[in-house]
Amino acid sequence: MRSDERLFPEINYHTKHGYSGQPSKWFSRLRAKLELSGTKGRKDFHSFRHTVANCLKQQGYAESLIGGLLGHATGGITYERYGKEFKPESLQSAVEALSIDVL
């Protein structure tokens, strides 16, 4: 994709919630439909980010790679100023390392 394109152009920007409002509402409806609200506390859309980060951390993946997968900035000048975003093929092994039983 070009840098000025969005992956999900149908998601509208909300002044208070940014682009996360619509996906969060969708997930809340899905969670209710699947009756997941009673499992180990209430899980929201971002709970998956915590689970993915922890799963990959426990497997020894580098923080920069996990951050790249989750869309986080690294904060270091080496990656922020001089490095490009991770290519999909660089993230592939981390995605494949995720197990559905962990998620």
Query: What is the tens place of the pLDDT at every residue in 14-31?
Result: 898 888 888 888 888 887
φ, ψ (nearest 5 deg) of residue 75: 85, -15
- Statement to judge: residues 92 and 69 lie in one domain: yes
Provide the number of structural domains found in the chain.
2
- Statement to judge: residues 30 and 59 lie in one domain: no
d(CA 68, CA 70): 5
Task: With 0.75 as the threshold, say if the pTM is over it.
Answer: no
Helix (H, G, I), strand (E, B) or coil at 81: helix
Tokens of 3: 């840098």
Query: What is the tens place of the pLDDT at every residue in 42-82?
Result: 667 777 888 899 999 999 999 989 988 888 876 677 777 77
Sequential DSSP letters for 37-64: TTSSS---TTHHHHHHHHHHHHTT--HH
Domain of residue 22: give its range. 12-43
Query: What is the tens place of the pLDDT at every residue in 83-98?
Result: 778 888 989 999 999 8
